[in-house]
Structure 1
Amino acid sequence: MLYRIKPALKDYFDPISDQYCADALLYRQQVTQSVAGQLSVSFSRDFQAQSRTPETIGSAWAQAAQIQIAQEQNAVTVHIADVLSDVVREFKTARHFLDVGAGAGRVAMHLAEKFTQLECTLLELPHVIEAIRPTLANHPAHQRLHCLAADLQTLDFQTLKPQPQYDIIWCSSVLHFVDDYALILQRLLTALSPNGVLICCHAEIDPSQYDAGIQSYYLNMRMQGNYVPQKDDIYRSLKQLGCQHIETIENVQFPVASVDVLIARK
């Protein structure tokens, strides 16, 4: 059996390409198939989602950061971050950057190399930090890549010494995994410098129209009790928290599904 790949997709399937992400595509396809096969059971009255320990969750994220998240960030997210860093004028003068839920760390690594004045902090679970630390250590800008091993749910930036003030905070596909997204947004805004910028990128569900890419893939997440925002949920929360200037870029193509990018200034 022969397969043909369109030229535009070739690099994504070439193992020696920086954009190779076949393992990530296969993983996502397997997850979708698995969820589809369990739908009839999942909707039964007796169904109970399996609970996982923090240790199990941390190990799973660490493994993902080394394979599918790393590939997706290299193939897609880094390019989006690169474009947004040209749009957000503050990147040219920013000194301190925070990547919330950094995953494989590729976004911070790229921006540290692009903006030589930028000190980048990667916030992730301790298991993930240990998994990606060797990659960070070998990066050309490794002296400006700093790790913050903590759980975002329990981290209060005001308790850190010295108390950090970040000029730019990147928060991408993270709020899905917290219990109170508004509280996390409040804490992130508190950690921003007076003229700081929060870049928030998440898939949102618009009840007025069906989006197969978002609603089919994020069904599993919603059934597990994770948060998938309704259209403008995050925008309204940022407004209530005092953000006066919020730019919205809709339908930005991220890994898995399109997202809405919010660029918020206090």
Structure 2
Amino acid sequence: MNGVNLATPHPLQPYWDLTLAAVRADALRIALEWKLFNLLHLPASAQSIARQLRLDPANTGYWLDTLWSMELLNRDDSQPPQYHNTSVASDYLRPEAPDYCGDAWSFRLRGLRHFAGQLGDQVRAGRPSGQAPDVATTIDNWTSAARLQIAQEQRAVTVDLALRLMAQIPEFPGARRVLDLGGGPGLVAIALARDNPLLCGEVFDFAQTVSVAADNIRLAGLEQRLTVRGGDLASDSIGEGYDLIWCSSVLHFVPDLAATLKKIHAALRPGGVLVSAHAEIPEDPQQARRVMPYYLSMQMLGRQLTPAGGLVEALEQAGFEAIDSHAEVAFAVAPVAVQVARRSPS
């Protein structure tokens, strides 16, 4: 028997793992709904948690062990065992934490499960010709998400990535005017303005949505440097003379990608920089597997999702040059491709 590896996974294991993921997701879902991670900020036993939440003690222990196996809880060797939050649970899943992201995670889970439940019907029937999403409902949903779930993701994930990207862009310290295009809650613009004290600019989004950004700008005390501009990217002015434009997960939704990129190019001053952060479909299936499930619903609604390299080609056709590309940047839920593209100085 020497040399025989009995632990080699069966070829079906990745697909069995799909079924197991549903159980892990619900173990976390109820933990968030019941605010478990507040109770386990300090060590506690399963019996103690069961008493506080009025649960069955034995099954509570099995549930906590599942969360331990997911590396959301630590478990000591005492009898009975004591459980407490890992750093991930404490930093991102405890409601009192500054970077709490539990609502955003639950929001993504509900949306993806709703879509998955309709997947067969979508594949069978497609989208009826000429039928577009209800624009008013879409704007209402986006505005609501910008106030809570998207704000959580920007605060916990996007802001840090934006600042790390800016540290690699030589033009950023000299930038004086920024546009956060489709900025939702505006937290990226706020972070950039705090990082560069000479930076002023605007957050552009739907008229309803920019009220959320305006509230956040006031709370940050940056009303003298940041303003908001409401409108429709496809038809309204986005301003001009920007040194820097941040555009994340916006181009998927525009009706004409080429026209939108030309509009963005024209809004930059000569020598200005566009930072575009948008998912593309990787050529490698293992990399594509991290992207496709999240963006499949967008594709089936007719949204833009370019193959790898497609955005660089579109940027070049729109007149951008000196493009620096980052193929996989770890944004929330799924990685995106980031292009740092420039308008010619002359």
Q: Does 1:69 align with 2:184?
A: no
Q: Is the 8 A contact 1:70 1:104 kept in 2?
A: yes
Report the counterpart of residue 114 of structure 1 in structure 2. Answer: 195
Cα distance in structure 2, aligned partners of 1:9 and 1:176: 32
Paired letter, 1:242: G
Cα distance in structure 1, aligned partners of 2:305 and 2:173: 32
Cα distance in structure 2, aligned partners of 1:222 and 1:205: 11
Equivalent position SS for 2:224:
helix
Cα distance in structure 2, aligned partners of 1:56 and 1:35: 17
Q: Does 1:203 align with 2:284?
A: no
Q: Does 1:214 align with 2:294?
A: no
Q: Is the 8 A contact 1:247 1:263 kept in 2?
A: yes
Cα distance in structure 2, aligned partners of 1:46 and 1:108: 38
Q: Which of the numbers 90, 97, 100 marks the counterpart of 1:17?
A: 97
Cα distance in structure 2, aligned partners of 1:190 and 1:127: 25
Cα distance in structure 1, aligned partners of 2:206 and 2:105: 24
Q: Which of the numbers 155, 179, 184 marks the counterpart of 2:255?
A: 179
Q: Which of the numbers 49, 54, 57 marks the counterpart of 2:138?
A: 57
Q: Does 1:249 align with 2:326?
A: yes
Residue-by-residue CA offset, 1:18-72 (whole Å, 9 max, x unaligned): 2110111111111111111111211223764974433222211110101111000
Equivalent position SS for 2:243:
strand
Paired letter, 1:133: A
Q: Which of the numbers 209, 214, 220 marks the counterpart of 1:139?
A: 220
Cα distance in structure 1, aligned partners of 2:163 and 2:339: 15
Cα distance in structure 1, aligned partners of 2:217 and 2:127: 42
Report the counterpart of residue 179 of structure 2 in structure 1. Answer: 98
**Cα 1:46/1:224, change in 2 over 3 Å:** closer
Cα distance in structure 1, aligned partners of 2:244 and 2:256: 22
Q: TM-score under structure 2 normalisation?
A: 0.72
Q: Is the 8 A contact 1:185 1:238 kept in 2?
A: yes
Paired letter, 1:189: H
Residue-by-residue CA offset, 1:201-221 (whole Å, 9 max, x unaligned): 111002443422210111111
Report the counterpart of residue 259 of structure 1 in structure 2. Answer: 336
Q: Does 1:166 align with 2:247?
A: no
Q: CA deviation at 1:9?
A: 4.3
Cα distance in structure 2, aligned partners of 1:246 and 1:263: 5
Cα distance in structure 2, aligned partners of 1:248 and 1:102: 21
Q: CA deviation at 1:138?
A: 1.7
Paired letter, 1:7: S
Cα distance in structure 1, aligned partners of 2:272 and 2:148: 32
Paired letter, 1:145: L
Residue-by-residue CA offset, 1:169-205 (whole Å, 9 max, x unaligned): 1111100111111111111011111110110011100
Residue-by-residue CA offset, 1:115-148 (whole Å, 9 max, x unaligned): 1110021000001012332222121222111101
Cα distance in structure 2, aligned partners of 1:46 and 1:263: 35
Alignment RMSD:
1.8
Q: Is the 8 A contact 1:113 1:140 kept in 2?
A: no
Report the counterpart of residue 77 of structure 2 in structure 1. Answer: none
Report the counterpart of residue 80 of structure 1 in structure 2. Answer: 161
Give unmatched runs, 5+ long, in structure 1: none
Give unmatched runs, 5+ long, in structure 2: 1-59, 73-85
**Cα 1:171/1:46, change in 2 over 3 Å:** closer
Q: Does 1:191 align with 2:267?
A: yes
Which runs of structure 2 are paired with 1:1-12 in the superposition (5 Å)?
A: 1=60, 2=64, 3-4=67-68, 5=72, 6-12=86-92
Cα distance in structure 2, aligned partners of 1:55 and 1:152: 15
Q: Which shifted more, 208-217 or 196-205? A: 208-217
Cα distance in structure 1, aligned partners of 2:284 and 2:92: 34
Larger Rg: 2
Q: TM-score under structure 1 normalisation?
A: 0.92
Q: CA deviation at 1:10?
A: 2.7
Q: Which shifted more, 18-27 or 52-61? A: 52-61
Q: CA deviation at 1:222?
A: 0.6
Cα distance in structure 2, aligned partners of 1:53 and 1:15: 33
The number of residues matched between the two structures is 261
